[in-house]
Amino acid sequence: MERFFSASVFLFLLCIIAYAQTPLDEYFPSDWMIRKVSIESKENTERISKNTGCKISSIENYFSYEPQIECEIKVYKAIDAKEARKLYNYFYDTGLKRDGELLLTNDIVYQFIGDQGILYKCRSLFLEQKEIKIWNVEMNLVPIRIADDSDTIKLLRALYKYEIKNHDPASITEIRKLRSSFVFGSELSLSNKIIDGIKPEYVFDTTYTEKIKNDVIKFTYSDIKSELDIPKIKVKAIIPIKEFSEYVPESKIDRSGLTFPNDYWPSDDPKVLSLAKDITIDCSNEFDKLTAIHKWVRSQIQFNGDETGPRYGTLNVIDKREGNFWDSADVLTTLCRSMDIPARQIAGWVAGTSNNNHNKVTVVGDSIGQYINYSAANDHIWTEVYINGTGWVQIDPVLPFTGVSYNYIPFFIIEDGRMPATYWDLPMVSENK
C-alpha cells in the first residue's frame, strides 16, 4: 500500500511538472499561463533548417491555458535575428503565413495554430503596442426608419440583382413591390471613435448636419438623391481601428438609455431577468457578469447556419437555443441590459473572411487587404458593453474572448435595436496602407 501510495505521489508530481501553469518569461508574456508539450528532436530541427535554408537552434511546442483562449504555439528559435527574419520570410513566401498566425520577435518566430479569431488575440497579447489599422469603405446606402427585417434583406438582394443585371425589368418590378413596405429615413448614427488622435472621416453626396456625442456621430441628411423612388446616399469613410482595446468616452454615458428595454432587447422580461440572475449568481462585479453572460451565450445558443437571414427575436432564440450571428448579439445585449450593464450593438464588417452563403471575394492587387469587394456574408454585428472603470468593450458573442481584432470594422452604432440602413450595392472595403 505504501509503495502504491509513493508511486501515485510520484506520478502526481510528474503531472504537476508537465502541466503546471508556469509562465515562461523567456518566450511568453509574464502573465501567460502555458505548459510545455515537447521539444523537436535534433534530427528534425536540422531537417527543417535544411528545408527552409535557415539556421534554427531549437523548435519547441506549447499549449496555451489562457482563460479566454486555447491554442498551440510553436516556437522557432534561430541562431540570431537575421536568421529568424529569413525563417519568417520563408513562411510568408511559401504561403504558410496567414495574417495573425506568425509573429517575429528578435531571434524567435512564433507560430500560432488554432481558430483564426484566436490567432489575432494571441498575437495581440504578445505585442507591447496594440496594432492600429485604417480602413477605407465606399458604398451606397438606403436609410431606413421603419421596416421588417425580412423585407430589408429582400430589398438588399433585389437592389443587388438590379445592379449586376443591368437594371433588368424583373428586378425593377421586385423593387417597386417592396418599396411600399418601407418608411425610409434621413438619419444615421455612425462610429466616431478617435484612435490615438486619428478621427473617422465621412464624406456624403448630399447635404447634412451632424451632432456628436462621445463616440457616436449622428448625421441628419437633406436633399437625398433617389432612384426608383428609393433614397440613395453615397458614402466614403475612413475608419481607424485599434485591436483589443477598450474605449473611454470623453463624457458621461446615458446609462438609462443604454439599459432601457425595447422590442428587440426585452431586458425587462421576467424570463430574461430570471435567466440573467441565474447566469451571474456567483459574480461580484460587472466584468465577471459580462464574462458569465458571454460564456453562456456562446455555449448555449447554437448557430443555425443562416448567416444573413432575419432575426428570430431574442425570446424565441433563448427558448429554442439557436439563431444566427445577429441573434447571438441580441441575446448578449439583452442579458447585459437586464443586469443594468449598458450595452449596444455595432454593425460593420469582418475583413479577410468569407462565409458560406456569399463567399465570392474579388481581390484587386497583389494580396488580400489591398482592395477587396466583400459580399454581404462579410457583414457582421457584434456587441459593445460599457464597464465602469474600463470603458466600452467590444465582444463578438461567437468568439471565446472579449475584445476584437483590427479586422473588425465598425460603422453603424445601434442603441435602440433598429438597423438604420441597408446597402444599395456591395461595400468596397480596403486597407489604407
Q: Residue 406 corresponds to which cell in the numbers above?
A: 483590427
DSSP sequence for 23-70: --TTTS-TT--EEEEEE--HHHHHHHHHHHTS-EEEEEEEEE--SS--
Q: Confirm if 141 and 204 have CB atoms less than 8 A apart.
A: no
This prediction has a pTM of: 0.74
Distance CA 73, CA 91 (A): 15
Distance CA 224, CA 3 (A): 86
pLDDT per residue over 341-383, tens digit each?
A: 999 999 999 886 544 333 333 333 333 233 334 333 378 899 9
Task: Tell whether the model's pLDDT for residue 94 goes beyond 70.
Answer: yes
- In percent, the amount of the chain with pLDDT more than 90 equals 50
- For residue 382, give Cα distances in angstroms to 59, 191, 200, 413: 38, 13, 19, 10
Q: What SS3 state is found at 411? A: strand
Mean pLDDT value across residues 209-217: 93
Q: Which of 104, 125, 159 is nearest to 376 (CA)?
A: 159
Distance CA 147, CA 138 (A): 24
What pLDDT score does 306 carry? 62
What pLDDT score does 33 carry? 65
Mean pLDDT value across residues 311-328: 94
Distance CA 108, CA 98 (A): 17
Bigger pLDDT: 73 vs 408: 408
Instruction: Give the start-to-end residue ranges of the domains of the chain.
Output: 17-128, 133-431
The pLDDT confidence band at residue 404, using thresholds 50, 70 and 90, is: confident
Mean pLDDT value across residues 267-285: 96
CATH topology of domain 133-431: C8orf32 fold (3.10.620)
Q: What does DSSP assign to residue 206?
A: S
Distance CA 191, CA 104 (A): 33
Distance CA 55, CA 86 (A): 9
Mean pLDDT value across residues 92-110: 70
Task: Tell whether the model's pLDDT for residue 37 goes beyond 50.
Answer: yes
Bigger pLDDT: 65 vs 249: 249
Choice among 34-43, 75-84, 123-132, 185-194 with the minimum mean pLDDT: 123-132
Burial 263-298, CB ≥16 within 10 A → b, else e: ebbbbebeebeebbeebbeeeeebbebbbbbbebbb
What pLDDT score does 251 carry? 87
Contacts of 401 (CB under 8 A, 6+ apart): 68, 69, 118, 121
Distance CA 346, CA 385 (A): 10
What pLDDT score does 309 carry? 65
What pLDDT score does 375 carry? 39
